[in-house]
Amino acid sequence: MAENDKKLYPLKFKPVSRPLGYGTETFHIADTGEVDSAVLQGWLEGNTLGEIMETFLDGISGEGPYYYTGRQFPLMIRTLQTVSDSPVLVSPSDAVAASRYDSLGKAKLWYVLDASKGSFLRIGLAEDVSAENFCKLCADGTLHEAMNNVEPVRGKAYLIKPGTLHQVSAGIKILEIAQASALEIPVCGGGAGIDVVYDVIDFVDLEKHCGCDGECHCHDEGCGCGHDGDCECGHHHDDGEDHHHHDDGKIADTQEFTVTRLELADPMHIYPENFGSFLVYTCLEGSAAVRPDDGAFPCELAPGESVLIPADMQDLVLFPQKPGTVLLESVMLRDLPPQEDAA
């Protein structure tokens, strides 16, 4: 492992693809225990995210995120491509996951990259269900019939909270931004047994669900900060006359992560110290150049690629390389708890 007295820089990782029972998954940034992404470039090349966290601690994740998740990097980015329907899945909260599985829980955001005709998502229950009836539906293999059917739309995002039942059909490509956890528990389909159902019964959400958590929207443009020029959000916009900003750029805002869609029409100056957290940029459309102010290890982002900006990194600029460049910015904006006064 390299020394920790060198400057940090934008980190790209080698994608890791592996089969799922219902398609394939490709990890772009992850340290879940099962997958540990390796750096592609610079003086940290070949080191894994887990190894880097062991050395640089909150210099990578930020003081607030490090307080809550320690040496495990808190976020993962992966792409799902389905060829058949997934089982009905559920993930626990942080509290349940820590006590039972020694893991982070799993909140996730599904951003639809593509969806074939007739494909669907199922998110939450269409009506309240008793614990007894839930077990019966799982045993009968008919739980999906009690769930909300949601038509996946390209460019639409769906926030799936811990405890929410969810399923993805064949023919969908999803960008998933989630807590760094492998805990996706199949409760119906995929060989799930009744013992698994009994194990989740106390944390699965059995109440009627709207199917979208009120957090899913089609977003046309905007960084979400609501400001021009320098602002406390950590962005500086080098505005051209045709560049606009809208509050609806923010597509998820939870204690686990905040995700903002950026229409990168002009160069954007990023000040990591203003966030107190790592940042991850994922390219959806077009392409972007990531240029640190000190010139160290610049990189390019093509569609489907992600880059991790360490919390202790110097300022940088995002340059659009093509018209219509769109990025997602992911960050964990979770402050330290207030300090108690000394007695």
Average pLDDT of the segment spanning 150-172:
97
Question: C-alpha distances in angstroms, 98 versus 77, 165, 244?
Answer: 21, 20, 43
Average pLDDT of the segment spanning 99-116:
95
> Tokens at residue 244, please?
């606009």
CB 90 within 8 A of CB 185: yes
Question: C-alpha distances in angstroms, 52 versus 75, 173, 179?
Answer: 14, 30, 18
Average pLDDT over the chain reads: 88
Per-residue model confidence as pLDDT tens digits over 10-53: 999 999 999 999 999 999 999 998 999 999 999 999 999 999 99
Helix (H) or strand (E) holding 77: strand 75-82
Q: Is the pLDDT of residue 295 over 50?
A: yes
Alpha-helix residue ranges (DSSP H) falling in the chain:
49-56, 58-61, 63-69, 94-101, 131-140, 194-200
Amino acid at 322: K
Confidence (pLDDT) at 21: 92
Average pLDDT of the segment spanning 209-230:
46
Amino acid at 228: D
Task: State the pTM of this model.
Answer: 0.88
Per-residue model confidence as pLDDT tens digits over 190-216: 777 788 898 999 999 999 987 664 444
Average pLDDT of the segment spanning 286-292:
97
* Torsion angle in degrees (nearest 10) through CA of 181, 186, 187, 190: 180
Average pLDDT of the segment spanning 71-83:
97
Q: Which residue has the higher pLDDT, 228 or 39?
A: 39
Out of 1-5, 55-59, 152-156, 251-255, which region has the weakest mean confidence (pLDDT)? Answer: 1-5
Q: Tell me how far apart the alpha carbons of residues 308 and 318 are, in angstroms, rounded to a whole number.
A: 13
Q: Is the pLDDT of residue 217 over 80?
A: no
Average pLDDT of the segment spanning 147-167:
96
Confidence (pLDDT) at 54: 96
Q: Is the pLDDT of residue 161 over 80?
A: yes
Average pLDDT of the segment spanning 63-71:
93
Average pLDDT of the segment spanning 150-163:
96
Confidence (pLDDT) at 107: 97
Average pLDDT of the segment spanning 229-250:
48
Give the pLDDT band of residue 238 (cuts 50, 70, 90).
low
